[in-house]
C-alpha cells in the first residue's frame, strides 16, 4: 500500500491582524556629527517599542511617530 500526502494551504483565521503586523513603515536617516549616518525606521510609539535610540522630527505624522535607530 502506498502512502499519499495531501498538501493544503495554511489559512489565517485573522487576516486583518496579519495585515496590521505587516504595516508599511517609513525609513528615517539620522545624521550625527563626527559619526557615520544611521538609517532608522519610523514607528508609532503608542503601538511599538524601540530597542534602540529615538529621534524626534525626522518622520512625517504626529508627535507619536518617531525615528527608531
At 28, list the grid cell. Answer: 528615517
Give the pLDDT confidence score for residue 19 in this predicted structure. Answer: 46
pLDDT per residue as tens digits for the range 24-45: 668 898 887 888 888 999 999 9
pLDDT per residue as tens digits for the range 42-66: 999 999 999 999 999 999 999 999 9
Give the pLDDT confidence score for residue 1 in this predicted structure. Answer: 54
* 28 within 8 A of 67, measured Cβ to Cβ: yes
At 57, list the grid cell. Answer: 522630527
DSSP state, residue 60 = S
Average pLDDT over residues 1-28: 56
* Stated pTM of the model: 0.59
Euclidean distance between CA atoms 53 and 57, whole angstroms: 14
Amino acid at each position: 500500500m502506498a502512502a499519499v500526502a495531501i498538501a493544503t494551504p495554511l489559512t489565517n483565521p485573522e487576516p486583518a491582524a496579519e495585515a496590521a503586523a505587516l504595516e508599511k513603515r517609513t525609513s528615517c536617516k539620522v545624521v550625527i556629527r563626527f559619526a557615520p549616518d544611521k538609517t532608522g525606521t519610523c514607528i508609532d510609539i503608542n503601538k511599538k517599542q524601540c530597542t534602540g535610540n529615538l529621534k524626534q522630527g525626522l518622520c512625517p505624522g504626529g508627535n507619536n511617530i518617531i525615528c527608531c535607530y
